[in-house]
Amino acid sequence: MLWMKHHGIISVANSVLNSIDLDQTVAHLLVTVRNDGYAQGYTECTQHVNNALRVNWDTDRSATHGVDTGAAHAAAKTEYNNLHLPLMDLVTAALQADDFVAQLKEVFPDDGDDDEDLD
């Protein structure tokens, strides 16, 4: 159990947090939320200009004109919420075994043998 305390939990957390799939999904989510926020802010600003100046501001040249940024953001959120990390299947299977520490040691082998007595 000492191995689990000193290496196992840290290994699982690092593997999840350093996952390329997680990084790519979060980066895509950040881009879509930024684009959606820009589009909504531009729309709100246009409405204020129209009301204040009593003009019909032309938004045809806006970078977000005709783009459904809300749908792109919703799709990115769904992708994030449904993200599947294959590593977690290995961890789940290992935790269901009788000797889960040995199973986790196979999934996350130690670099050094200095802690062999940490069972």
A 10 A CB-CB count for 64 gives 16
- The predicted-structure confidence for 58-97, as pLDDT tens digits, reads as follows 778 877 778 889 999 999 999 999 999 988 988 898 889 8
Q: How far apart are CA 112 and CA 39, in angstroms?
A: 52
Q: Is residue 110 over pLDDT 80?
A: no
Q: Which two tokens stand for residue 64?
A: 């977000």
Contact between 94 and 4 under an 8 Å Cβ cutoff? The reply is no
In angstroms, the CA 27 to CA 21 distance is 10
Residue closest to 43 by CA, chosen among 74, 71, 70: 70
More confident residue, 26 or 6: 26
Phi, psi for 72 (deg, rounded to 5): -65, -40
- Band the pLDDT of 107: cuts 50, 70, 90: confident
Q: Cβ atoms within 10 A of the Cβ of 26, count?
A: 14
